[in-house]
Amino acid sequence: MARRLGYLFFDTGAMYRALTWLALRRGLDPEDEEAMGRLAAETVMEVSPPPPGSGDPQGRERCRVRVDGEDATPHLTAPEVEASVSLVSRVPAVRRELVRMQRRLAQRGPTVMAGRDIGTAVLPDADLKVYLDASREERARRRRQQLALRGRVPSFESVLADLEKRDAIDSSRSVSPLRPAADAVIISTDGLSLEEVVERVLSLVEARA
């Protein structure tokens, strides 16, 4: 989407993953909310859009994230980060700090921003809000395919269980729970290709031009 529109792109999930990686690297407990909030407040985080051609075979791109001068980007999808990122991202103090950073990023220019709370908390006045949905089974299938490209082939059942656990945590957190904004356009992506999803969203952009 960002490439087609000539916009910047930021994946806010990369920021939560980077902070999670830093916490684990420093031996902090992801369930220690006070420690996680303090880490978020003290960490210097630099985020830049993904370089051209940096996407995986499925077209998914990750922003480049540096925390306290270290490049966390190669570690964003590590299994230990996957297992703990929802615990870190549910901490209110963490979300406050990162939302503040994300709003600053959006001020750099026209932006496509991806995340689980963009339309409801980060950019509630965004020109267009799109909530991409899919069945849990479809998401688990796609996720397993992504992991296979990285040399990891977990069982479908374990991937589905991990997704359900993360959804439960993200949907029940006290700050910015996972839900579509009231004025978001919901697109069910089951059975759609990446290009078909992009075309549907582009049509929404053009309708508002």
Output the pLDDT for position 173: 77
Output the pLDDT for position 20: 97
Dist CA 165 CA 100 (whole Å): 27
Output the pLDDT for position 175: 76
Averaged in consecutive runs of 10 residues, what is the pLDDT profile of the chain (209 residues)? 92 95 97 97 91 57 88 92 92 95 94 92 95 94 87 89 86 80 95 94 92
| Number of domains forming the structure of the chain | 1
Helix (H) or strand (E) holding 7, with range, is none
182: domain CATH number is: 3.40.50.300
Output the pLDDT for position 113: 95
Helix (H) or strand (E) holding 96, with range, is helix 92-106
Task: Determine if the pTM surpasses 0.95.
Answer: no
Give the residue numbers spanning the domain of 34: 2-208
